[in-house]
Amino acid sequence: VKVGIIGAGQLGRMLALAGYRLGVRTVFLDPDGESSGSQVGRTIVGEINDAARIRELAAEVDVLTFDIESLAPEILAETAIGTPIYPPPAALAVTRDRLFEKRLFGEIGFPTAAYLRIDSSQDLATVPSTLDWPVVLKARRLGYDGRGQRIVRNQAELATAWETLGGGAAIAEAWVDFERELSLIGVRDSAGNTAFYPLSENIHDGGILTSTFAPLEDDTLQSDAEECLLAIMRKFDYRGVLAVEFFQARSGLIANEIAPRVHNSGHWTIEGADTSQFENHIRAILGLPLGSTAARGCSVMVNLLGEIPPRDVLLRVPGLYFHDYGKTPRPLRKLGHCTIVDTDRKRLETRARDLRNIVKL
């Protein structure tokens, strides 16, 4: 069995590694033949939105998937006829655009931060009558890891921020005074069976995920979060892994962002759950039974951003799982991650603190 993955970043790499154990071969399409994923699977070198290259990939695999959201869904719909693509390109078309994403939350009746559509400088003038300062200005497309967004405190800052974001289609979003940030990762197969990992708590710095703790100590929000994912999955007749990021506010969960793919906040599942998010994605898109999403104790995952601490220091930490994505260091780039799993939450917290000291978070 062969899976074609469009995009060969670290997510593609970890998908390929999960498939490898199941006897599944992977072929990538990526502009960089030496990328993180390309190091573990054959790669067709080409642009991810090149219809001819996608067709070439489609011709030699049983199913297509992707590890990147800058893919143009309309190209997928046009080119890969004959080869199934999961998750559905229709889900990608919505989730890659922050305005469509907001509307989707409205459609399924799930709370999300108040927002305004910004298409012109005239639209900027209407912001203060609708939203309180501060406001988060977010480009509708191609924003990730805090890129493409600015926090602004007044009209003048808003105008400048819009210009620095290129003056294009954006949304202005109310600031959410959250207690913490959570995410839920779920998976759905072709028969409509679903499985959900326990909610995790995510710590961000400058919009970039730095660490994840899972599962949450209390599970009172789990069913609300599952309802949100279920509604999205049903809408698209979804197949594969889906992630949603939430703010936990006093009023409850506020949905922030959807990713139609495996997600950084689910990396802990590689060692911390019965079946990893990567394996469950491969299982779902190939029509194999979904694996148990139960957590094995509690986990902390710490991202390695910009530089990898000395390996001998990391590898000396007892029980530490070290993942190096094989990427060239660049400031704030996600180069790898570490996970520690423990049966005792208190002890895990101490071990997590020690790890964060090594990683200098």
For ligand AMP, the binding residues (CB under 6 A) are 113, 136, 143, 146, 173, 175-176, 181, 204, 207, 245, 256-257
**Shortest distance in whole angstroms from residue 257 CB to ligand AMP:** 4
| Residue 257: closest CA among 149, 183, 150 | 183
245 vs 279, which CB is nearer to ligand AMP? Answer: 245
DSSP readout, 240-260? Answer: EEEEEEEEEETTEEEEEEEES
| Residue 171: closest CA among 179, 180, 162, 182 | 162
**Shortest distance in whole angstroms from residue 181 CB to ligand AMP:** 5
36 vs 95, which CB is nearer to ligand AMP? Answer: 95
How are beta strands 194-196 and 2-6 bridged, if at all? unpaired
3-state secondary structure of 170: strand
**Shortest distance in whole angstroms from residue 9 CB to ligand AMP:** 17
**Shortest distance in whole angstroms from residue 173 CB to ligand AMP:** 5
**Shortest distance in whole angstroms from residue 281 CB to ligand AMP:** 21
Within the chain, where are the H helices? 10-21, 51-59, 73-79, 89-95, 98-107, 121-125, 127-130, 155-164, 222-236, 269-272, 277-286, 311-315, 345-359
69 vs 173, which CB is nearer to ligand AMP? Answer: 173
Q: Which residue type occupies 288?
A: L
173 vs 342, which CB is nearer to ligand AMP? Answer: 173
**Shortest distance in whole angstroms from residue 15 CB to ligand AMP:** 22
Tokens of 283: 């299982």
Count of CB atoms within 10 A of residue 50's CB?
16
334 vs 351, which CB is nearer to ligand AMP? Answer: 334
108 vs 254, which CB is nearer to ligand AMP? Answer: 254
Q: How far, in Å, CA of 6 to CA of 65, rounded?
A: 6
